[in-house]
Amino acid sequence: MLTRLLLHLLLLLVVAPLLPGIITRTKAVISGRQGAPLLQLYRDIWKLLRKGMVLSTTTTWVFRAGPVVGLAVPILAALLLPFGAIGAPLSFSGDLILFVYLFGLARFFTVLAAMDTGSSFEGMGAAREVTFSCLAEPTIFIAFIVLARISGSLSLDGMYGALLVSGHTLHGATGITLPLTAISLFIVLLAENSRIPFDDPNTHLELTMIHEVMVLDHSGPDFAFILYGSAMKLFVMGALVVNLLLPLASQNQPADVGLFIVAMVILAIAVGLVESAMARLRLIRIPQLLVGTSLLSLFALILLLR
Amino acid sequence: MDFQAIINGILLFVLLLNLFILGTSRLGTCIKMVSLQGALLALLPVLMHGTPYHALILSASALLLKGALIPWLLFRAIREVRIRREITPRIGFIATLLLGALTTAAAFIFSGQLPLLPEHQHSLIIPGSLATLCAGALLLITRSTAITQVLGYLMFENGIFIFGMLFIKAMPLMIEAGVLLDMLVAIFVMGIVMNHINREFSSINTEQLSQLKE
């Protein structure tokens, strides 16, 4: 039990900052540049942790709480989720609701911290973040309902575990719902982690940013927490998709770990490819895409229920 | 019925295309998607009934008409009237999408209630056909440019085509061929009408046709 917990945390804490590095490198290679080193994010975090911090006099403790919650939540959520064939250390019936709302909690605090600065730009980013995430939430829940219906279990560990056992024996309507669900979850991953086509993580124009604009006033260790937290959020959300597409279990634990890491790297490359191939959507088109994604997962549910 | 999985896959893709078409505003994309839908559906007769000449002719003519000729005509039409987008739908795109999802769900529920033959019980043909019919009707009702209405009409025909797959053994080739020909003529006429509307009003918004003037 304890070793499982440690393995889980180790995997999350060590591998997570690698993913944004891979995404950036993929984009650099595609556009013919050399790009930043793969381990750049580790260095950034280390550098920021040693720096001082500037706090605006208008802010209160809420401003400090945002990054801390943002760091704690992905770690907690990761405990509920199996990583490939590595079972979740913590699991109970109905933990999928806790999983989704843990991220809701993190968002709530990020938004509050953004509003706490009193900057109108950050308020605008907060408004966008809240709007888009409330459109993305139905998709996650419908996808989870689909999985719960297939597996007959209400815990994340049970849902993905059942896929693991049945593996490729899924056929007919059930087999076809899985790709649909995986696509929906992948789009939610892009939306929730503010990647292109929803938000450009590289832009530094306040008027178009969503997530980046909310954290403009954070500096030093607080900003390191935010970077680390969002890398881990990407890792956890990525695991949602990877678990679905890779229902493979060898009986050998190191092999499972290796397989999972390779799958996550492939996912990061896929995100990088999407970002190289697409432009950011206009803001008014984003709700349309998110509603379409909800409908896609709803469609999977309809197919499953008939 | 060896190709059941492929047929269901095609129908599934057609259903997704329905939703996509309802949600997009670019006319070029719309035309491409509707003709892709038609071309995919043209494979159904051969997949379902093997290769008697009856099914072959039907497949080939449908593929030629819906996959090549009609999109070519439509592209020519939008080039001539120089429009690219549906600007003012009567109901917004998100609302149409939601309505489309609702009608799809309703089609599945309704076809679950129908007393079908046991071999059609689990196929996607009936729900797919009803959902495509509804999506076509939605497109006809909610859009205001003549070209999207033509596309709605085409989707409507696609729905009927799927439904006809169930009766292909009972239905003479002549009827299906007649339907295809009718459609082609209708698209022709719509193209000409569109040109005329455009010349009269310098837009192909059909809402202007409700105003009388000397």
Average pLDDT rounded to a whole number, residues A223-230: 95
Task: Give the total number of structural domains in chain B.
Answer: 1
The two tokens of residue A266 are 């492939």
More confident residue, A215 or A201: A215
- Residues of chain A neighbouring B104 (CB-CB closer than 8 A): 299, 302
- Residues of chain B neighbouring A181 (CB-CB closer than 8 A): none
Residue of A172, A176, A292 with shortest CB distance to B19: A292
C-alpha pair distances (Å), A221 with each of A45, A67, A279, B45, B199? 8, 9, 32, 65, 66
> How many A×B Cβ pairs under 8 Å?
40
- Residues of chain A neighbouring B98 (CB-CB closer than 8 A): 291, 295
CA-atom Rg of chain B in angstroms: 18
Q: Which of A101, A133, A110 is nearest to A287 (CA)?
A: A133
Average pLDDT rounded to a whole number, residues A280-288: 86
Whole-number percent of chain A with pLDDT over 70: 96
Rounded (10°) angle between helices A2-15 and A61-80: 120
Residue A81 domain boundaries: 2-305
pLDDT tops 90 at residue A228: yes
CA distance B106 to chain A (A): 10
More confident residue, B177 or B30: B30
CB atoms within 10 A of CB A6: 11
CB atoms within 10 A of CB A232: 24
Task: Give the total number of structural domains in chain A.
Answer: 1
Q: Please report the DSSP string for A66-115 in residue order.
A: HHHHHHHHHHHHHHHS-BTTB--SS--TTHHHHHHHHHHHHHHHHHHHHH
Q: Under a CB-based contact definition with an 8 Å cutoff, are residues B31 and B71 in contact?
A: yes
Which of B1, B6, B13, B16 is most worth mutating to test chain A (most A CB atoms within 10 A of its CB)? B16
The CA distance from A178 to A183, in Å, is 9
The CA distance from B32 to A91, in Å, is 47
pLDDT tops 70 at residue A165: no
List pLDDT tens digits, range B70-82.
889 888 888 877 7
The CA distance from A21 to A27, in Å, is 10
Position B214 confidence tier, pLDDT thresholds 50, 70, 90 = low
List pLDDT tens digits, range A83-118.
888 888 889 999 999 999 999 999 999 999 999 998
Dihedral in degrees, nearest 10, Cα atoms B35, B41, B47, B50: -90
CA distance A171 to chain B (A): 9
Selected residues 259-298 of chain A with any CB under 8 Å from a CB in chain B: 287-288, 291-292, 295-296, 298
pLDDT tops 90 at residue B62: no
- Please answer yes or no on whether A306 and B112 come within 8 Å at the CB atom: yes
- Please answer yes or no on whether B16 and A299 come within 8 Å at the CB atom: yes
State the complex-level ipTM. 0.76
3-state secondary structure of B36: helix
> Any residues with CB less than 8 A from the CB of A72 and at least 6 apart, and which?
none
Q: Which of B147, B134, B169 is nearest to B86 (CA)?
A: B147
More confident residue, A275 or B3: A275
Which of A142, A178, A299, A305 is most worth mutating to test chain B (most B CB atoms within 10 A of its CB)? A299
Q: Which of B145, B142, B144, B177 is nearest to B65 (CA)?
A: B177
Buried/exposed code over B88-121 (b: 16+ C-beta within 10 A; e: otherwise) = ebeeebbebbbbbbebbbebbeebeeeeeeeeee
Residue B114 domain boundaries: 4-210
| Dihedral sign for Cα atoms in the order B118, B119, B122, B127 | negative
Q: Looking at residue B1, what is its pLDDT?
A: 46
Tokens 């909800």 belong to residue = A294
- Residues of chain A neighbouring B9 (CB-CB closer than 8 A): 176
- Please answer yes or no on whether B12 and A302 come within 8 Å at the CB atom: no
Q: Under a CB-based contact definition with an 8 Å cutoff, are residues A264 and A15 in contact?
A: yes
pLDDT tops 80 at residue A251: no
Q: Looking at residue B69, what is its pLDDT?
A: 87
